[in-house]
Structure 1
Amino acid sequence: MTLGGHFDKSGPAGPFGAGADPLWVEEYGYGLGPPTGILILKYGSGGALEIPESRSDFVHQLYWTPDGMLSVRHANRTEFIGTTEALWVRRGVTHEVFASRKQIIYRICLREVPLSLRSLRVAAVSADQQSRNLIEQIARPGQDEAEALAARMTIMAGLGATHRDFVGRDPIGTPSSSRTTGFAQTIARTLLHDPADPTRLEEWAARLHTSTKTLQRDFVREFGMSYSQWRNRIRLDAAVVLLETKSVTEVAHRVGYSSVPAFVTAFAREYGHTPGRYALGATDSA
């Protein structure tokens, strides 16, 4: 059975204003009922998007976005997930998922645990290109159920272990002809997991045995912007999420700015207003 629907809801509260952007959700279900089924919720918004605190005792959940960064809060921790990763959450685990910009989020509900993820409760996991393509494909109207269920098996098989500490293992020292990802994606994974990482482009080049020119070219090809522009955007996206629970000063240092004024200036340039008006307690004068 395929479910299709487009539901408009009021926009989520957040730094861009409660109700400022309509939130829409589409539902696509295949083989629902047996453990071998799959349900995909496709969320979209014109601005910041929040999937609020959620706990399901019946299904496991996988979140993925093709458009940027996701953050997840669970057990008083905030973590960030990139586009080549997915967030795996076992059933019964309370969590919140956020996106700070206009983007699509896919929420995949499963009753079976993928073989490679059996030891994990909440984690950023790898999702190969084929799996990501299939998620987008079956979250569209008019899909054949048998084909969608076959795609489900491929998606589950394409999920792998966490990408934490990815840099320093597979890509480095590997001949460029046998790499499966570009230099920019390799660096992006590390920066997403630690936005404050201070590594300069020339240091990355030395670590990856390549040139700064090659790295810059890879960033423009992969993300449409330079390394410094991409790093700044990731830091500010992370800041939007962290500001809901931390002060401006804490967030500035958490995302890698050496001073609060530098952070406030960059934030205002990106979003058109300073961060102080909605930081924790709004006590920082910035």
Structure 2
Amino acid sequence: MIISLTNQKGGVSKTSTTANLGAGLERMGFKVLLIDWDEQGNLTRHFGVTDPDFTIIEGLLDDEKFVPYSIKEDRLMLMASDPKLSQFDKLFMDQIVGGHLVLKNKLEDLKVKEKFDFILIDCAPGQGLRNMNAYVASDFLLVPIEAHSFSKVGLEQVVSLIQELVKNKANENLNVAGIFFTRHNSKTVISRSYIDSMAEEYSDLPIYNTVIRENVNIKEASEVGKSIFDYVDEYEIVNSNGANDYYNFVLEFLEVLDIEPRTNFSLPVAKPKRMKAKPVATSSNNDTPEEAPAKETKKVRKAGKEDVAKGFKDFMKNE
């Protein structure tokens, strides 16, 4: 399954999410390939790869150089970025027939899709032939946004491009696997109200309940070349909002696609403190302990592949 993480606007945590989603999926038993599709190479540097011998551009031009780097044995691998990605349109525009199929054809010719459970593409901001290649190669798009209007513009541009691809039959099966909010600050009224309005406007698409909060651990993890999960494990950081949010995000991502985790993992938690026993409240009518009120749980929207596809088609009809 190929998923492109994309938004026409930058700074919405596409790279952090690609890295941590991939790492979380690997920990849950899946084999994952990450493709850094941005010439800035932030995903490549995120995992400490510098001056790579093989890059995605070299791999597209020469089959023998399509060599991913191993991040976690052979279960989590990375196809490194290349500064020449900024010249992608010039390099491949002369392929008048099939210029938008370069990545798709390469992945199919080398049977890359058959070797991995998930291929995650970290797209660059903006439009053009390069991102068109990513969309044409993908089964789903995953769209991170911040809770403000500028990020919504990027989402609208993505939806417009999908409609164009489907209409022109470049990728009739392309669907949206979800919209989710990053760099969230629950203390601001604007963030909360914006999420509510987006959920109403895009009700035909999966809107994730999990939001990724602003958290310093996410930034620190990338600076030392680790996923958020490896970072909190190594430094024994307990109750990290960043780790908890991405853990729940990975679970919800699988739930939306109706896929069961193959294994699970736990995050570091604080050791329980010894508490003094407190007297149990009793009812005035009898001497049995009062029952605690049932905790209301938040219903998670679940949608299988067919439901995701149907939701997006219904959404497009209304456009």
Q: So what's the TM-score if we normalise by structure 1?
A: 0.31
Structure in which a larger fraction of residues adopt helix: 2
Q: So what's the TM-score if we normalise by structure 2?
A: 0.28
- Ranked by relative contact order (alpha carbons within 8 Å, sequence separation 6 or more), the top structure is 2
The structure with the larger Rg is 2
